[in-house]
Amino acid sequence: MLLRSPGLLLLLLSGLRAATQEKEVRAMVGSTVELKCIYPEENSFDLNDLYVYWQISGSNTVVTYYLPKNSSAGHENNHYKNRAHLSLDSMKQGDFSLSLQNVTPQDAQKFNCLVFRESLQLGKILEMEVSLHVAANYSLPVISTPSSESRDPELTFTCRSTNGYPRPNVYWINETDNSPLDKALQNDTVSLNSQGLYDVVSILRIPWTPNMNVGCCVENVLLHQNLTGRSQTERSSGTEGRITETPDSLQKEDNVVIFITLALLLVSVIVAVVIYMGKSKCPHRNYTGAQAATVVCELTGRG
Ligand SMILES: *[C@@H]1O[C@H](CO)[C@@H](O)[C@H](O)[C@H]1NC(C)=O
Ligand SMILES: *[C@@H]1O[C@H](CO)[C@@H](O)[C@H](O)[C@H]1NC(C)=O
Ligand SMILES: *[C@@H]1O[C@H](CO)[C@@H](O)[C@H](O)[C@H]1NC(C)=O
Ligand SMILES: *[C@@H]1O[C@H](CO)[C@@H](O)[C@H](O)[C@H]1NC(C)=O
Ligand SMILES: *[C@@H]1O[C@H](CO)[C@@H](O)[C@H](O)[C@H]1NC(C)=O
């Protein structure tokens, strides 16, 4: 062996300590993540010479471990039992990475990997720390407008989004000019649900404004993701105006268009009927109140 003197071993260990890397890993809830812990040089290891520990930094929580000759097993923390695995084949090649299945929000911890060799008087040959960040996608925010009584001087919007991680930031937006609304107008309630994920309800109260459009933006800082739900309200309607309605002014124009269209339709139907009757030589002159129709009928009658 190269390492005959303790001095040389110390030198090697301090060198390693300087090289100890801290890594950051991100995983989605429910996924499987690999926390890397790899011996820097090409190497081949004898499994009977290795002691490998994965634990939570700053606590004595054991995630999983490997001991030579399978001497004693079963001291893993229950939280990690059957979810944390080492690969014996990879370890022979110096890869002590941990595979962690079915990631939960509670796994957002710093993990510590320690590798010792029996042949080096149980000298530590590798130490690595991996920070696991856990994320879950928030649901698309849904805005509801409680059917406000028409005399209410305030508009109240409620925005809901569920099953996200980590804790969200909620912003309300004035959709008219895309400007952010004052944070003081909103009241957020963030709660942890039974799955350990966050649900958020944000209530916005603003002075009544006609045709007010707002957006509710839920930010997941870890995923660099902003999800925005949109709403619009009408003062008169008692419906739960969650999805956009056409604004009043436009609706009035629409009504006029519809009226004209209907009127034109009615006239053309009458004309068609009269033409038809004209072809049968206008036998039914007693058709009421349609002077124009009579004219057309007479014209076709002449031709
Ligand atoms: C370790 O020993 C247990 C029983 O004590 C056995 O079930 C298991 O397969 C062994 N594992 C290895 C890697 O040899
Ligand atoms: C998160 O959700 C949004 C919309 O619901 C979707 O577009 C996006 O792909 C999702 N991202 C992940 C990582 O699941
Ligand atoms: C939203 O923006 C419009 C246009 O800038 C402005 O007139 C209105 O007062 C704003 N509403 C609120 C509640 O800030
Ligand atoms: C926010 O809502 C909670 C629960 O409805 C209430 O207890 C609290 O007083 C509200 N805070 C503000 C500033 O309106
Ligand atoms: C999300 O919105 C916030 C507030 O408007 C902004 O600071 C942030 O940069 C946005 N993030 C992304 C990814 O768009």
Average pLDDT over residues 191-209: 94
Give dist(CA 257, CA 249) in Å, integer. 13
pLDDT the model gives residue 299: 33
Out of 1-10, 197-206, 244-253, the most confident range is 197-206
How high does pLDDT run on average in the chain?
77
**pLDDT score recorded for residue 70:** 60
More confident residue, 59 or 164: 164
| Ligand 2 atom at minimum distance from 140 CA | 5
- The arrangement of secondary structure in 6-135, i.e. its CATH architecture, is Sandwich (2.60)
pLDDT at 6 over 50: no
Assess whether pLDDT exceeds 60 at residue 242. no
Do the domains at 6-135 and 142-233 have one common CATH topology? Answer: yes
DSSP 266: H
* Contact indicator for 145, 242 with CB cutoff of 8 Å: yes
Least confident of 147-151, 222-226, 260-264, 277-281: 277-281
The pLDDT of 101-112, averaged and rounded, is: 96
Q: Are 16 and 24 in contact (CB under 8 A)?
A: no
CA–centroid distance, 205 to ligand 4, in Å, is 12
Contact (Cβ atoms closer than 8 angstroms) between residue 43 and residue 93: yes
Measure the CA–CA gap between 161 and 190, rounded to whole angstroms: 10
**pLDDT grade for 11, boundaries at 50, 70 and 90:** very low
Q: Residue 70: CB within 6 Å of ligand 1?
A: yes
Which residue has its alpha carbon closest to ligand 4 atom 13?
A: 187
Which position has the higher pLDDT, 273 or 192?
Answer: 192
Ligand nearest 189 Cα, by number?
A: 4
Query: What is the average pLDDT across 105-127?
Result: 93
Give the pTM. Answer: 0.68
- Does ligand 3 have an atom closer than 6 angstroms to the CB of 177? yes
Which residue has its alpha carbon closest to ligand 2 atom 13? 137
Q: Which residue from 20, 55, 130, 41 is spatially nearest to 93, judged by alpha carbons?
A: 41
Q: Is 140's C-beta closer than 6 angstroms to any atom of ligand 2?
A: yes
**Among positive and negative, which fits the CA dihedral 169, 173, 179, 180?**
negative
pLDDT band at 224 (very low <50, low <70, confident <90, very high): very high
pLDDT for 248 equals: 38
Residue 82: predicted pLDDT:
87
CA of residue 219 to ligand 5 center, whole Å: 7
Rounded to the nearest angstrom, the distance between the alpha carbon of 220 and the centre of ligand 5 is 9
In 3D space, the residue among 55, 79, 58, 78 whose CA is nearest the CA of residue 66 turns out to be 55
243-253: string of b/e by CB count within 10 Å (b at 16+)?
eebeeeeeeee
Return d(Cα 237, Cα 187) in angstroms, integer. 25
The predicted model gives 48-58 an average pLDDT of 93
Would you say 229 and 215 are in contact if contact means Cβ atoms under 8 Å apart?
Answer: yes
Kindly report the CATH number that applies to the domain delimited by 142-233. 2.60.40.10
- Sequence ranges of the domains in the chain: 6-135, 142-233
Report CA(233)–ligand 5 centroid distance (Å).
25
| pLDDT value of residue 203 | 96
Q: What is the reported pLDDT for 36?
A: 96
Give yes or no for residue 227 having a pLDDT over 50. Answer: yes
The tens digit of pLDDT for each residue in 117-155 reads 998 888 999 999 999 999 999 999 999 976 656 677 888
pLDDT score of 211: 80
Least confident of 144-148, 163-167, 252-256: 252-256
- Alpha carbon of 85 to ligand 1 centroid (Å): 14
- At position 145, the amino acid (one-letter code) is T
- The pLDDT, as a whole number, for residue 79 is 85
Residue of 67, 69, 70 to test ligand 1 pocket, by largest number of atoms within 8 Å of CB: 70
Tokens for 124, please give them: 């530590």
* CA 137 to ligand 2 centroid distance, Å: 6
Q: Is the pLDDT confidence value at 300 over 50?
A: no
Report which protein residue has its CA nearest ligand 1's atom 8.
70
